[in-house]
Amino acid sequence: MVQERILPKFQAEAGNLTSEEALMLYSDMTLGRLFEDKCAEMYYRGKMFGFVHLYNGQEAVSTGVIKAMRPDDYVCSTYRDHVHALSAGVPAKNVMAELFGKEAGCSKGRGGSMHLFSAEHNLLGGFAFIGEGIPVGLGAAFQSRYRRDALGDSSADQVTACFFGDGTSNNGQFFECLNMAALWKLPILFVVENNKWAIGMAHERATSQPEIYRKASVFGMPGVEVDGMDVMAVRSAAQTAVERARAGEGPTLIECLTYRFRGHSLADPDELRSKAEKEAWLARDPIKRFEALVTEHNLASQDQLKEIYQRIQTEVEEAVTFAQEAPEPSPDELRRYIFAD
C-alpha cells in the first residue's frame, strides 16, 4: 500500500504557473513516458539489448528538478537515465540511437542504456553502479565553486543536480559526498528518487532511518521531503534549492517519494511487489494528476494536451526510425574515445 509518509491529497498549486510553463512541463513528462513505453516495445521485440531500466511513474522528479534549472547547469544520473537525458535536452533520436548501439547515439553507441552522456547538454553520465555518480556530481559542483571563488570567473554560477535512488543512500559515497558538499558549501542538489524498492529489497527493510531527508541534518544542510508524484511540489522544492545553491548557500538534499510502474529492469518479472501496492501508486500517476491541474486552472485545454501527446508520439516513432537506420560504430574505431583527445 501507499506509505503513510505520502500525502493523501493532491496538494499541488498552480500558483504563478503560466500556460507556456504548464505545456512545457506536460510535454517533458509525456516525452519521458512515451519514450520509455517505446523502449519496452523495442526491447521485447529483440531490437534493443543489454540491461534496460525504465522510468515510468517517476517523470515528475526528472521534469520537476531539471526544468527548474538552467541549460548550462549540470545533471548527473544513474542507470535509470533515459528520461534525465531527455529533460536535460538530449534529442530523443540520439538517446534512442544510443540504446540501439549506433554511432549517432549520444555516447557514440559505446555506452548503451546505462551510460548516456552528452557534453553539449552538461549531462555528466549515467552510471551502472549505485553511488558512482555522486562523486562525479560533487566534482562538477566543486569546479563551479572553484572557478568562481579561486579563479574569479563571475559566470561560474552553475548548479549541479545529482540523482540517485533510496538504496544508494545507504552507501559510503552518499555520506562522504554530503559531508564535503556541506563543508565547502558546494552548489549541488542531492535528489533521492525514493521509489521504495532497491531492485527487490523494500526500502523499509534496508535502512535504520527510512526518512532519508532527515539524514541531511547530520551535515547541517537543508533536507526536504516532497511528493515525487506531484511535479509542482518537486519543482517548488527544486527552485528553492537551486536559488540557495546559486547564491552560495550550499547544498540541499531533496527526497522525492515516488514509484516505478514497471519492474526494476525489463528482465524483472516484478513479482515481489503486491498488486494492491502497485494499484495504489498507479492511481497517483503524475501525468494524469498534472493534466487535471492544468485543465482545472484553465492553463491548457484537453485539445492542446491531446495535440502535444500526438506530436510526441510522432517524435518517438521518428526516433526509432532514426535509430534503426543509423550506422553501426566502425570496428576500425574500436579504441576511439577511450582516452581524451
Farthest-apart Cα atoms in the chain, separation:
57
Q: Specify the pLDDT at position 229.
A: 98
Q: What architecture is domain 19-322?
A: 3-Layer(aba) Sandwich (3.40)
Mean pLDDT of the chain: 94
pLDDT tier for residue 270 given thresholds of 50, 70 and 90:
very high
DSSP states along 222-289 = -EEEEETT-HHHHHHHHHHHHHHHHTT---EEEEEE---SS-SSTT----SS-HHHHHHHHTT-HHHH
Model-level pTM?
Answer: 0.94
> Where in the chain are the domains?
19-322
Percent of the chain residues past pLDDT 90, beyond the cut: 91
pLDDT digits (tens, 9 = 90+) for 42-101: 999 998 988 999 999 999 999 999 999 999 999 999 999 999 999 999 999 999 999 999
pLDDT digits (tens, 9 = 90+) for 135-187: 999 999 999 999 999 999 999 999 999 999 999 999 999 999 999 999 999 99
